[in-house]
Amino acid sequence: MNKKKKIEFIVKTLEDLYPETPIPLDHKDSYTLLIAVLLSAQCTDERVNKITPALFKKADTPYKMVKLTIEEIREIIKPCGLSPAKSKAIFGLSEIIINEHNGAVPESFEALERLPGVGHKTASVVMSQSFGHPAFPVDTHIHRLATRWGLTSGKNVTETERDLKQLIPEKLWNKAHLQIIFFGRQYCPARGHNILNCPICSVVGCKDTKA
């Protein structure tokens, strides 16, 4: 199967399995999504969703967030891990959003990536899911599946993002990245992966010899 046929099959399979792609992080607007995505670094979405209600009850806007101390934020988010760095980032980006963006989350990659604790992947999630701009957030899970399916030989998420953007039509980017995450969780885990039971690997093959 050549790469064109492979990507057509993968896209169709993902659409058949996941026609709806709800954002797995609970949020109500661009600010709470930004905070939730920042918290999800090296933490599961499930754990983030258990922590954010307590945080957002106290502070669901940047104006309310800066009324808390960094230590107060840290105590609430501690179960998410990396709480010292994340609490400083949350406080710092909230100050910048107030002082430089009139309290609104900026709608550009450049401005988002200048915020403390916000890298390209986090900015991509906010740009795609809050503002509807074409973006393809690639985390380690998407990187793993794209490698396993032979869609990229990239050595990091940046190279994998570049390759997937070339293969997958732009109009599908915002949905496809979530579909791949859902598929990985259900059918294509890093460990205990059964190729025969995987709707994609059983057809296109699997480059992961450990699978």
Positions annotated as catalytic residues are: 121, 139
135-160: b or e for each residue (b if 16 or more CB lie within 10 Å)? Answer: bbbbbebbbbbbbbbebbebeebeeb
In the chain, alpha helices (H): 3-17, 30-39, 45-58, 62-65, 70-77, 83-101, 109-113, 120-129, 140-148, 157-167, 173-186, 201-204
Contact residues for 159 (Cβ-Cβ < 8 A; gap 6+)? 152, 153
Contact between residue 75 and residue 55 where contact means Cβ atoms under 8 Å apart = no
Closest CA to 185 of 46, 80, 51, 32: 46
Tokens 């791949």 locate to: 180
Tokens 């579909």 locate to: 179
Q: How far is CA 38 from CA 90, 150, 209, in A?
A: 8, 29, 32
